[in-house]
Amino acid sequence: MVIFGLKPYNTLRALVALQCSRCHQHTPHRLWRKVNKFALFFIPLFVVSRSYTVECGSCAQVRKVSRDDAQGLRDQARAQDDVAAQKRAQVTGYRVISSEPGDPQNLH
């Protein structure tokens, strides 16, 4: 008797701030990669399919994105991380030199 099947793997690839198309909130979205691997006797052997989804952090809406779009979102997440790192670099001691009181993100 041969036991075989597909084994799914979900991996969180990035957290990127986007505006949701459903709830219109500007929140972090999770970029997930789902990989299905062919498994024989419960041992994963090779990748059968690969897909990417983006999940809203506010309303949990999930939508599929292409591989190119996923790469673009990862680049965008890296750029947002760079901006966050620059903002952290502006903090001296425990006092923030630069603050943006008009920025609605400070309310969260």
Chain residues in the site for Zn ion (CB under 5 A): 20, 22-23, 56, 58-59, 61
Cβ-based nearer residue to Zn ion, 35 or 65: 65
Cβ-based nearer residue to Zn ion, 15 or 35: 15
How far is 80 from 85, CA to CA, in rounded Å?
9
Min separation Cβ 101 and Zn ion, Å: 26
CB 8 within 8 A of CB 32: no
Cβ-based nearer residue to Zn ion, 62 or 96: 62
Min separation Cβ 51 and Zn ion, Å: 20
Token pair belonging to 84: 């966050």
Q: How many CB atoms are located within 10 Å of the residue 96 CB?
A: 12
Min separation Cβ 26 and Zn ion, Å: 10
How far is 22 from 1, CA to CA, in rounded Å?
48
